[in-house]
Structure 1
Amino acid sequence: MSKISPCLWFDGEAEEAASFYVSLLPNSKIETIQKNMADSPAGKAGTVLVVEFTLAGQRFMALNGGTRFEYTHAVSFKIDCEDQAEVDRLWEALCANGGQAERCGWLRDRYGVFWQIVPTALPKYLGGPDREGAKRALQAMLGMVKLDIEGLRRAYEGG
C-alpha cells in the first residue's frame, strides 16, 4: 500500500462521488466511511465526513469539508486505457450528468474533478521512432477532444 493518497474535497457529495468512481474501474472499492461525530462546518452529526476508497488499486480519500473549493487543471487523474472501447466508456461516464469535455483527452466530471482519458498507445505515436509521424500524431491529438486511437495511428503512419 502506498504511503501517499490523494484527498478530494467535496461539499456533501463525497460518498456519492466515491461510489461513482469505484463503479468505473476494476480493482476498486469503498474501504471505509466515517461519519461526523458532532455538528461541524463539514456537516451535521451522523452525516458522511470521510470516504476512503481504492480506485484501480490506488487509495484515495474523499472529504466532505464544507465549503466548495474548485479543482483546477493543476491536478488531474490520468486513466490509461487499453483500447478505444475503454476510452469511450470512461469518457461517456465521466462526462455524463454535467461533466465537460475538453481538448486532448481531458475532461472535468460532474464533481469538478479533472481527468485525462489516455489510450496506452499514445506514447507509441507521440514518441515513436518516426519523428515526422510523431509530429503528425501530435497535431492530430491537439485537434481532438476525446482521443481517437485510430486517428492517431493514421496520422502517425501518414494516412
Structure 2
Amino acid sequence: MSKITPCLWFDGKAEEAAKFYVSLLPNSRIDAVVPYSVETPGGKPGDVMVVEFTLAGESYMALNGGPYFQFTPAISLSVSCSDQAELDRVWDALSDGGSPQQCGWITDRYGVSWQVVPAALGAMMKDKDPAKSRRVMEAVLKMIKLDVKTLESAYRGS
C-alpha cells in the first residue's frame, strides 16, 4: 500500500464502486475486501467495511462508512487519456448513471467527481505562448466532454 492512500467514503456501495472503477483502467485490481468484525453505523459483522484497490497503479481505499458524508466536487479524480477513443470510453462509462459537468468534469453514479482529460491538455495549458494557452482554455470552457481535435485546433489557432 502507498504511504498516502485516498480513502473514498460510501454508504454501502464501496465494493460495487471499486469493482466499477478497476474495470475502467489498465493496471487496476481489487487488492483486499475487509469485513466489519463489529456492529458500527457503517455496517454489521460480515458486511464489507473496506475495499483496498489499485487504480491505474495507485492505491485507494473504499470505505462503507454509512450515510453521514457525501462527496463534493472539491475533490476529484483526474484521468489522463491517451487519445479521444480512451477519453470517450472512460467518459461514457462514468456517464452511465452519472452527471456530466462543464470542462470535462463528471460526477459518477456513486457521487465521485472526475476530470476526464486528454493527456496533451497539460502541455497545451502550460505553453509559454499565452495566446495558445488562452485559446485552449476558452475552448475547454465551451465543452462538456472534451474533444481532442477541437483543443488541438484551438492550440494551433486554426
TM-score range (shorter-chain normalised) is: over 0.9
CA offsets, 1:1-46, max 9 Å, x none? Answer: 5200000000100000000000111111101111112322111221
How far 1:59 sits from its partner (Å)? 0.4
Computed over aligned residues only, the root mean square deviation of the Cα atoms, in angstroms, reads 1.2
Partners of 2:44 and 2:2 lie apart in 1 by 31
**Length-normalised TM-score, structure 2:** 0.95
* Aligned position for 2:34: 34
Residue 116 (structure 1) aligns with: 115
Q: Which amino acid aligns with 2:127?
A: G
- Is residue 102 of structure 1 aligned with residue 104 of structure 2? no
Mark the runs of 5 or more structure 2 residues left unpaired by the alignment: none
- In structure 2, the residue corresponding to 1:30 is in which secondary structure? strand
> What residue in structure 1 maps to residue 148 of structure 2?
149
Once residues 129 and 90 of structure 2 are traced to their aligned partners in structure 1, the CA distance between those partners, rounded to angstroms, is: 30
d(CA) in 2 for partners of 1:2, 1:8? 15
Equivalent in the alignment of 1:82? 82
Deviations 1:44-101 (A, max 9, x none): 221111100110111001000112422112111111111001110000001102x000
Q: TM-score, normalized by length of structure 1?
A: 0.94
Distance 1:86 1:158 in 2: 25
1:143 positional shift: 0.6
* Alpha-carbon offset, residue 146 of structure 1: 0.8
**SS in structure 2 opposite 1:12?**
coil
SS at match of 2:136: helix
1:10–1:68 Cα contact (<8 Å) kept: no
**What stretches of structure 1 of length at least 5 have no aligned partner?**
none
Distance 1:2 1:39 in 2: 28
State the identity as a percent. Answer: 54
Matched length: 158
Partner of 2:157: 158
- Range with bigger deviation, 23-32 or 128-137: 128-137
Shift of 1:157: 1.4
Distance 1:70 1:106 in 2: 17
